[in-house]
Amino acid sequence: MAAVVRPEAPETIDGARSAIDRVDAALATLLERRAGLAGRIQRLKPVGGFRGRDMERERRLVAAMARRAPSLGAGLLAPIMNAVIEAGLRLSEETRDGEDRR
């Protein structure tokens, strides 16, 4: 993970694209891990899925992320995290009880 988060200043387009590819690979791994953990939460909640969303927690999550990524800020992070959360919820519904319904 350290190689992905350390600052880089590629000198070429190919170098910059390679750096983006490394970040995207890490993002894919992290997003899959996050979706799995979110799915576990859905199974533990008394009311799961879209009906069980905690919008206040999601706002706090975005605010905390904005502190770590101030150049993006809450305004840009909110729709990104909404998409991540909704994708995780859809995956959880499709794979309920370990059965892949896709």
**Chain-centroid distance, C-alpha 63:** 14
d(CA 26, CA 36): 16
Domains (range + CATH), the chain: 11-98 (1.20.59)
The pLDDT of residue 95 is: 82
d(CA 90, CA 83): 10
* Contact yes or no for 22/3 (Cβ under 8 A): yes
Q: What is the pLDDT along the chain (102 residues), one digit of tens a residue?
A: 776 778 889 999 999 999 999 999 999 999 999 999 998 998 898 887 888 899 999 999 999 999 999 999 999 999 999 999 999 999 988 887 555 545
